[in-house]
Amino acid sequence: MQTDQDLIARLREGDPSPALSELFRRHGRMVERTVQRQVRDEHLAQDVCQAVFWILLRKAGSLKGTGEIGGWLHRTATLVARNALRVEARRRQHEEAARTMTQKSARAPEWPEGFDEALARLPDIYREAVVLRYLEGRSLSEIGKSLALTDKAVDMRVARGVERLRKALAVAVPGLTAAALTGILATEASAATAAGPLAAAALGTAEMGTRVASIAKGAMKAMFWMKMKAVVAGACAAALLAGVGVASVQEKESKQFAEIEKIHALIKPQSGESRWMEIDWYPSVWEARKKAAAEGKPLFLWAGSGGAPSAGC
Residues 25-54, mean pLDDT to the nearest whole number: 88
In contact, 72 and 114? CB cutoff 8 Å: no
Domain residue spans of the chain: 4-228, 275-313
Do 119 and 127 meet the contact criterion of CB atoms below 8 Å apart?
yes
Give me the percent of the chain exceeding a pLDDT of 70: 61
Average pLDDT over residues 43-51: 87
Residue 127 has pLDDT above 50, yes or no: yes
> What number is the average pLDDT over the span 37-49?
87
For the chain, counts of helices (H) and of strands (E):
12, 3
CA 202 to chain centre: 33
Is 2:22 a contact under the CB 8 Å cutoff?
Answer: yes
Residue pair 153/160 in contact by the 8 Å Cβ criterion = no
Residues 166-191: tens digit of each pLDDT? 998 888 888 888 888 888 888 877 77
**Interval 252-307: pLDDT, tens:** 666 766 776 766 666 665 655 555 556 666 777 777 777 777 777 777 776 655 55
pLDDT tens, residue by residue, 73-125: 999 999 999 988 888 887 665 555 344 444 544 444 567 888 888 888 999 89
Rounded to an integer, what distance in angstroms lies between the CA atom of residue 290 and that of residue 295?
Answer: 9
Mutual orientation of helices 17-36 and 178-192 as an angle, nearest 10°? Answer: 140
pLDDT-derived band at 10, boundaries 50, 70, 90: confident
Long-range Cβ pairs for the range 218-227 (8 Å, 24+): 218/83, 218/84, 218/87, 219/51, 219/55, 219/76, 219/79, 219/80, 219/83, 219/84, 220/55, 220/58, 220/59, 222/79, 222/83, 223/55, 223/76, 223/79, 226/79
What pLDDT does 179 receive?
Answer: 83
